[in-house]
Structure 1
Amino acid sequence: MSRNLLPVLALLTGTLFLFLGNGLQGLLLPVRGSIEGYSNEVLGLLGTTWASGFVIGCFVAPNVVRRIGHVRAFSGFLALICLNVLMTGLLVDDVAWLILRAITGFCTAGTSMIIESWLNERATPENRGTIFSFYISITLFGVVGGQLMVPFADVTLPTLFMVCGILYSIAALPTTLSKAASPQPLKRARLDLKGLFRNSPISCVGILLVGIANGAYGTLGAVFATKVGLDKGSVAAMVSITIFAGAIMQFPAGRLSDRLDRRHVLAVLSGVSALAGLAVVLVAPTNVYTIVILVATYGAAANALYPIAVAHANDFAQPEDFVKVSGGLLLLYGIGTIIGPTLGGPVMTWAGPHALFGVTAVAHLMITVYAIVRSRQRAPVPAGERDAYTTVTGTNGPLATPEGLSLDPRARPKDAAASEQQTTP
């Protein structure tokens, strides 16, 4: 493994610091915003504006990279992210935070695309799976590591914002100082949402609803924990355990979906997520252990839904269409993450912090019902002909870039098919 990772070790090290900063900033803002008395609507919009900036960045950032090059674009994006987080600590104003958060989302898309394209250039058919798995692991541990920094300083002071700036600055060094040649120009994502829906209605509807639920919880989960009285350490632990539980659950859930109708697995997992969410709403727990158990159950089931839905869509698609199919699903997920926090904030204001899980429960119940309906209208693909299941975790759940899709080992059949066409007489 070390031989496979050595050529990209410096880049992966920078990636770790980037996601440490992302994890710290993503938890710090809602916690500090709650202390400052920002409304639930504003705190929800922090997630909405970030997701909006990220989605726009996936389409616009490649043009920036083409004009000025990978290294300068990467340094520029990181400089803006660093500047934004420092200004967020100095300029405590809700409107300013929303604007800065949108810019950060846009720049995060740019930095992620550059890192992923660089990894793509260094990957070979033999080590692609290793590099991809290690990259996903780094995003997971980086986000959680950043979140766990929150209890170690006073969130009302600029200290943690400064730490964020330091992490982002360190992240810029490996690629800036690297002598390696820049990767090929970034690719444009070709999307066909109508064709995607015809291919797999449950994947389209399900992933939109997963985005709504994940976007609501991902942005407002820390706000919920703060408003029910948890301390900083408990807030960080609750948010982090959701990610870990989801990461652990993906392996057994994926194996199960490879053997059974994936729609049945989607229905069961989304049902478990809905029940856990409804338990939070009905019981309205304030004890930290009860909250952590219920939220861990929720996270384990909810975070396994996306990769199963992607695998189901690819079961009915051609192997060479993986990037196009997954790109369309990512767009739907991104739209969902924009809608979720926008709905969650007002609902929490109207019905209390526990009502956040009412939003997620409704979304997951809709997935359960629709998955059952679709399973009766279309036969599943035989187990031996299905797409390979691959786990998905990261700083924003599955929200990724087109370059990240190309790095996925499942995207390789397109190249293989092209090679076969060239060598066939």
Structure 2
Amino acid sequence: MPRNLLPILALLCGTLFLFSGNGLHGLLLPVRGTHEGYSNEMLGLLGTSWASGFVLGCFFAPSLIRRIGHARAFSVFVALIAIVALTTGIIIDDIVWVALRAMTGFCIAGTSMIIESWLNERATNESRGAIFSFYIAITLIGVVGGQMSLALGDISTQTLFLACGIFYCLAILPTTMSNAATPQPLKAVKLDLPTLFRTSPVSFFGILLIGIANGAFGTLGAVFGARAGLSQSSIALMMSLTIFAGALAQFPAGRLSDRIDRRHVLAGLSGVASLAGLLIVILHPFDAVNLIPLIVFYGAAANALYPIAVAHANDFAAPEDFVKVSGGLLLLFGIGTIIGPTIGGPVMTLYGPHFLFAVTALAHLSITLWAIFRSRMRAPIPVEERESYTTVPMGTTPALTPEASALDPRAVAEDTPSEDNPAGDTPDEAAAEAEAVPEGLAEADPAEREEERQ
């Protein structure tokens, strides 16, 4: 058993370093950009560019991975991310940064898909839930650890950019030194928006609006903190605490959503997040003692919304559509994170830094009103027929790709290798493979069957 776990541990170790670099670099750029006097609009475009690259990577990175293999593709993607991180420390220019962030987003999508497919290949019915939870925890710890390391260096020097490069280089080592078998080729990502909307209008628009709010805060939260006069360490603490608060809030929120209509939970949490945002706009706190508790309160509600919306969509979806629905919703979240920073930057310039939370409040209030409206139009799924809730700490930017949907323990019945289905095929794939087996070879050993085909 330990021997079988070693390749996964090596992969998760690389994941920890990868997301540590992501956490540090993603926070360093807006803070350093504020120090350099860049406009709110350009700093918002950093997030827009990253999210655009991430969404494009979900669609186009699989073809490159299939061409050169998982291990080589992972090394290429991480090397490019390290080059970008180091280049942003050498060339201090807002336009260059925006362009390079798109490449980072694309490569992060590629590396995440490789990691998730590799873990999915090694998972079994018994270990899938534990591996998925461990992967989520690793990404959370990595991002928060990277963000907190911002307080250990001077943002006006190249030191922290060099630290990002070191984190990324360390991420390459475990996978290149591992002897883990290469996973099966990635499947093409498909986004069926009409089907997603018919399955769950609440989740469709809810996930998009969650992406807008989280994208705006994730990109411009550090800018807001700097404009509000917070110190470098206070900004790092503020951004990290919002993620942790959201992760902790998911447990009671998820249990509640398993007992009552999930749309009511979505409406309530969105209302709390909207209220917290409005209080920040109205009170205009400029000191860490008053500001950080309000933002942590906001983060606890805002970052607990995504998994509840996904669970609600899957309550109405057919079991075999779990991966397709969850993957599509994740891409909708990514599209929302493109929109959020694009709106938030100009709003902060026109009305002041605190009005960033007017953008998030409007998005969350819209979720509340839409969820309440739809709850009167459609009866909830009975409690005994609902999909089980699974925590997915999303933070402020997409942390997972559609490939992670197959790793989710709720997808175990569809694509997990088992005694009767060792290849982990879906019913359609299994039927097609059975038809392709020549007559007389159905009971043959797989090696003998391959010899006969050749």
TM-score normalised by the shorter chain: which range applies? over 0.9
Residue 393 to residue 3, structure 1, CA distance change in 2 (3 Å): farther
Deviation at 1:382, TM superposition (A): 0.4
CA contact (8 A) 1:224 1:353 kept: yes
Aligned to 1:58: 58
For residues 201 and 266 of structure 1, the distance between their equivalents in structure 2, rounded to whole angstroms, comes to: 13
Give the equivalent residue in structure 2 for 1:383: 383
Partner of 2:123: 123
Matching residue of 2:300:
300
What amino acid is aligned across from residue 37 of structure 2 in structure 1?
Answer: G
Q: What fraction of aligned residue pairs are identical, expressed as a percent?
A: 67
Q: 1:332: Cα distance to partner?
A: 1.2
In 1, the alpha carbon distance for the partners of 2:375 and 2:395 equals 32
| 179-188 vs 346-355, greater mean Cα deviation | 179-188
Find the aligned partners of 2:138 and 2:334 in 1 and give their Cα distance.
22
Distance 1:378 1:154 in 2: 54
- 1:8 maps to which residue? 8
- Offset at residue 5 of structure 1 (A): 4.5
Change (3 A) 1:226 1:106: same
Kept in 1: contact 2:285–2:291 (CA 8 A): yes
Shift in alpha-carbon separation, 1:366–1:359, aligned structure 2, 3 A: same
Task: Tell me the distance in 2 between the aligned counterparts of 1:80 and 1:243.
Answer: 27
Deviation at 1:327, TM superposition (A): 1.4
CA 1:242–1:395: 2 relative to 1, 3 Å:
closer
User: Offset at 1:396?
Assistant: 4.7
Q: Secondary structure at the match of 2:258?
A: helix
Contact 2:206 2:309 survives alignment (8 Å): yes
Which residue in the other structure is 1:237 paired with? Answer: 237
After alignment, is 328-337 or 50-59 more displaced? 328-337
CA distance in 1, matches of 2:291, 2:42: 24
Deviation, 1:191, is 2.4
Partner of residue 288, structure 1: 288
2:185 corresponds to: 185
What's the CA shift for 1:351? 0.3
> Whole-Å Cα distance in 2 between the matches of residues 359 and 339 of structure 1?
11
Instruction: State the Cα distance separating 1:394 from its structure 2 match.
Output: 4.5
Map 1:11-410; keep pairs closer than 5 Å.
11-394=11-394, 396-410=396-410
> Against the structure 1 CA distance between its residues 162 and 323, is the aligned structure 2 distance closer, same or farther, given a 3 Å change threshold?
same
The count of corresponding residues between Structure 1 and Structure 2 is 424
CA offsets 1:67-99 (integer angstroms, 9 cap, x no match): 111111111101100000000000000110011
Deviation by residue 1:169-202 (Cα, 9 ceiling, x = unmatched): 0100111111222111011123211011011101
SS at match of 2:184: coil
| C-alpha contact (below 8 Å) 2:257/2:265 kept by paired residues | yes
Structure 2 vs 1, CA of residues 5 and 250 (structure 1 numbering), >3 Å: closer, same or farther? farther
Check the 8 A contact 2:406/2:415 in 1, yes or no. Answer: no
CA distance in 1, matches of 2:285, 2:97: 31
* CA distance in 2: counterparts of 1:394 and 1:171, whole angstroms: 21
* SS of residue paired to 2:187: coil
Q: What CA distance in whole angstroms lies between the structure 2 residues aligned with 1:394 and 1:49?
A: 19
Relative distance call for 1:304 and 1:65 in structure 2 (3 A) is same
Check conservation: 1:46, 1:219, Cα contact below 8 A: yes
State the 1:316 CA deviation.
0.4
Structure number with bigger Rg: 2
- Counterpart contact for 1:82–1:164, Cα < 8 Å: yes
Structure 2, unmatched stretches of 5+, are: 435-454
Once the two structures are superposed, what CA deviation does each residue of 1:207-249 show, in whole Å capped at 9, x if it has no partner? 1100000000000000000000000010000000000000000
- Paired residue secondary structure (1:259): coil
Distance in 1 (CA, whole Å) between partners of 2:196 and 2:390 is 20
Structure 1, unpaired ranges of 5+: none
Deviation track 1:331-385 (CA, whole Å, cap 9, x = no partner) reads: 2111110000000000000000000000000000000001000000100000010
Determine the C-alpha separation between the residues in 1 that align with 2:18 and 2:395. Answer: 10
Aligned equivalents of 1:406, 1:143: Cα separation in 2: 23
Q: Any idea what SS the aligned residue of 1:412 has?
A: helix
Q: Which moved more, 1:408-417 or 1:152-161?
A: 408-417
Task: Kindly report the root-mean-square deviation, in angstroms, between the aligned alpha carbons of the 2 structures.
Answer: 1.8
Indicate how the Cα distance of structure 1 residues 320 and 210 shifts in structure 2: closer, same or farther if over 3 A, else same. Answer: same
